[in-house]
Amino acid sequence: MSKAPDSDKAENGGPSAIEQYLVKDPERFALNMARMIEQAGKAASAWTEPREKGEVRDHVAEPVVDMVKTFSKLSEYWLGDPQRALEAQTRLFAGYMTVWANAIQKVNPNAEAPQDAVQPERGDKRFQDPEWGRNAFFDFLKQAYLVTSRWASELVEHAEGLDEHTRHKASFYVKQVSNAIAPSNFILTNPELFRETVASNGENLVRGMKMLAEDIAAGRGDLKLRQADYTPFEIGKNIASTPGKVIGRSDVAEIIQYDPATETVLKRPLLICPPWINKFYILDLNPQKSFIRWAIEQGHTVFVISWINPDERHGAKGWEAYIREGLQFGLDMVEKATGEKEVNAIGYCVGGTLLGAALALLAQEGDHRIKSATFFTTQVDFTYAGDLKVFVDEDQVTAVERSMSEKGYLEGTKMATAFNMLRSGDLIWPYVINNYMRGKEPLPFDLLYWNSDSTRMAAANHSFYLRNCYLENNLSRGAMELAGRTVSLADITIPVYNLATKEDHIAPALSVFLGSRFFGGDVEYVMAGSGHIAGVVNPPAAKKYQYWTGGKPVGDFNAWLAAAHEHQGSWWTHWQHWIENQDNIHVPARKPGKRMKTLGDAPGTYVKVRV
């Protein structure tokens, strides 16, 4: 321990540095440990029971095998040359020696405080407690961990001869392992958790194990990590609450038309094609954040596709079905509800990729109802796809297809886990610590409620997406086959508004930029601040972030960005001006149900199916 006389009290009269880590009531602590073990047994039962009944089959071996294969390729480089191996070990040993020397110096009350061997990265919130620097034991753990994780990352970075996909995977797996073994994740090596456990005599662990058992039961044998208090939210009440009507329903989609908020509206209706990974109400979280509500207030007649949460019945529904029974069905409903044959369309993420493929197909088929297309954080070229590409190679896609063949769909928890792993330092481990070690309920948060509302993936749909986009990049290569045709993005000659976000880890700004070159018409490329969600859902009233506009998206991305003009605030108003420049004719507002029978109130029934 660092210099702290046993009799010394903290300045505020609290316990000494040593006393705060001592159990005050051993009998009560032992009782709580027994209660914790009881709750742990319930958690184990919640995990094993569905497996004993055959309701859950584990596929844990497949990602573990892939990780081992990836690390084996990395090891081949460093162990293939004794000199390289010695240099790598020497760097790690030198780092440890620095940590050890610092630890010795810190217990010497007369020595000057040494410089840390490694500093946490900017924004790392794991080591904010003062004891991580003040206490020699915890400081030693922190520095040893940071030295090791930094060294492991550099092994990947400096390994020669690795193909980019293997390097990407190795970097990802190293990060996952590093995040998992951080001393902040364990009670005895995290000063804050240690103090809380001692102060409560272990009651935090009892609550934590109880929550763990509940979350495994909620996941029907898999952990459904609780990221927020979900109880205050109800879809249709305070989530996805913009008023409207369901005007159409197919096997894969409901079409929602929203009530107008202005006396006149743009003549061209607006049809939104959201992703089917998660649900459409990311664009309608609440009245303050809702892009849908804002667009209505700007004079749009807004229609949204609400995708089905698929089950066994939808296993054979591929991209053609989602185009015919989703996007084209939506166009038919728009025309029936308004009489209009000219429409503005928006596609978000994979919904945008589907929109791009559909536009290429419909151009060949002579369906020209969509007159402008807006893409939110959408990839049509996957050469420089984001971190999800880590999960896509022939072996992994084949394993996913084998898993999906059992039920006709991929469990929603699988995709949710994959997305959470992309930012495990933010979306997994802080909640593991807060929920299961501190035993604290997370706070209400509408965005995390949406994030937890995961969706299944229909087998044919997901397989087509993984193979044609991530694995083979067929859409931008002009090799994607739909409805017996080979489609080309060059056939899309309508105006395109292509929105990227600067910190996107799913659809990187570079990838979106390069995808712009494949369209056959004019493209307005805009880059917003923040990431895949916050950069899109950024209402003007919030006065947050910024966006960049510039010339045509050609040439070098960094050169484009260096010459681009930065604007403060939301890109929404810029998009609205762009839309109005396409066609600014107004007509009297249209109310749902005036021209056709409605099927119920927004947000409909499909969106309420949870997994």
The residues annotated as belonging to the active site are 349
CA end-to-end distance (rounded Å), the chain: 49
3-state secondary structure of 525: strand
Q: How many Cβ atoms from other residues are within 10 Å of residue 394's Cβ?
A: 9
360: exposed, middle or buried (C-beta count within 10 Å: 0-12, 13-18, 19+)?
buried
3-state secondary structure of 239: strand
Task: State the pairing for strand pair 485-487/480-482.
Answer: antiparallel
Closest CA to 516 of 504, 503, 500: 500
3-state secondary structure of 257: strand
Phi-psi region of 543 (alpha: psi -120 to 50; beta: other; left: phi over 0): left
- Cα Rg of the chain, angstroms: 27
Could you please report the per-residue DSSP string of 444-465? Answer: P-HHHHHHHS---EEHHHHHHH
CA 396 to CA 183: how far, in whole Å? Answer: 31
| Residue 120: alpha-carbon gap to chain centroid | 24
Helical pair 61-79 and 394-404, crossing angle rounded to 10 deg: 170
CA 103 to CA 135: how far, in whole Å? Answer: 10
Does residue 184 contact residue 126 with C-beta atoms inside 8 Å?
Answer: yes
- Secondary structure letter of residue 223 according to DSSP: -
